[in-house]
């Protein structure tokens, strides 16, 4: 389950310079798996996912869960995690992980050692979804460049994401630390989509208005 704090903590309204821009891998359903990155096309029909870059943190027969990695807010961790003493002096910003359950808190940590109760999303990158593991990462002084905290997430019910990919609703990229912890997340989507459109010009299937209209939340397990 995602880490949860009391209602006074969550923000309801907080609402790449990559070494080399990664090439879009495909628009194939068979390429969907944990650690892949989804990039929304320009004409994404669901405004909640417009210009989004999403890391798939969970993906199985029951559905999928992802975190938007390119929506950095101006709200510091000290405000969002005010119930955690270890976050008192943290001025690095929280990220908006998605439109589902803004009281849910998760984090991504780059580490050479596997944290307890934090499954890997790719080698060296771990998903933190429990309060105790989040506190340990903060107490250990995880650096802002290796540690991002997210409120909310993106969720798909069983088969829903696969259907959206079939309809051309997402480009699938291979994920890496450079994408996840990009220093300029605000321009990440535009940089990736420009590269992607050049590769897939004229090959994408048409989008349908139904994409996103029935998205169901998927809880972290």
Residue 41 — φ and ψ, nearest 5°?
Answer: -75, 170
pTM of the model: 0.82
Q: Is the pLDDT at 56 greater than 60, yes or no?
A: yes
Between CA 216 and CA 40 the distance in angstroms is 18
Burial of 5 (0-12, 13-18, 19+ CB in 10 A): middle
pLDDT bin (cut points 50, 70, 90) of residue 199 is: confident
Grade residue 4 by pLDDT with cuts at 50, 70 and 90: low
Closest to 24 (Cα-Cα) out of 167, 219, 165: 165
CA angle 111, 114, 116 (to 5 degrees): 125
Quote the DSSP letter at residue 197.
H
Listed by start position, the domains of the chain span: 3-200
DSSP 114: P
Question: Which of the listed CATH numbers 3.40.50.970, 3.40.50.300, 3.90.600.10, 3.40.1740.10 matches domain 3-200?
Answer: 3.40.1740.10
């Amino acid at each position: 389950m995602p880490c949860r704090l009391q209602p006074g903590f969550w923000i309801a309204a907080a609402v790449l310079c990559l070494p080399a821009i990664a090439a879009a891998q495909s628009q194939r359903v068979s390429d969907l798996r944990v650690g892949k990155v989804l990039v929304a096309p320009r004409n994404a029909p669901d405004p909640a996912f417009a210009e989004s870059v999403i890391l798939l943190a969970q993906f199985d027969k029951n559905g999928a869960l992802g975190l938007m990695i390119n929506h950095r807010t101006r709200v510091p961790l000290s405000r969002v995690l005010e119930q955690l003493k270890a976050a008192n002096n943290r001025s690095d910003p929280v990220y908006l992980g998605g439109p589902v359950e803004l009281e849910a808190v998760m984090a991504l940590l780059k580490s050479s050692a596997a944290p307890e109760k934090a499954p890997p999303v790719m080698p060296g990158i771990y998903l933190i979804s429990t309060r105790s593991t989040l506190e340990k990462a903060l107490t250990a002084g995880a650096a802002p460049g290796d540690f991002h905290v997210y409120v909310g997430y993106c969720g798909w019910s069983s088969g829903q994401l696969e259907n959206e990919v079939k309809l051309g609703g997402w480009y699938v990229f291979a994920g890496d630390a450079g994408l996840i912890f990009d220093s300029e997340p605000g321009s990440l989507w535009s940089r990736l989509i420009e590269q992607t459109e050049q590769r897939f010009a004229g090959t994408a299937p048409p989008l349908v208005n139904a994409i996103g209209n029935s998205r169901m939340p998927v809880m972290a397990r």
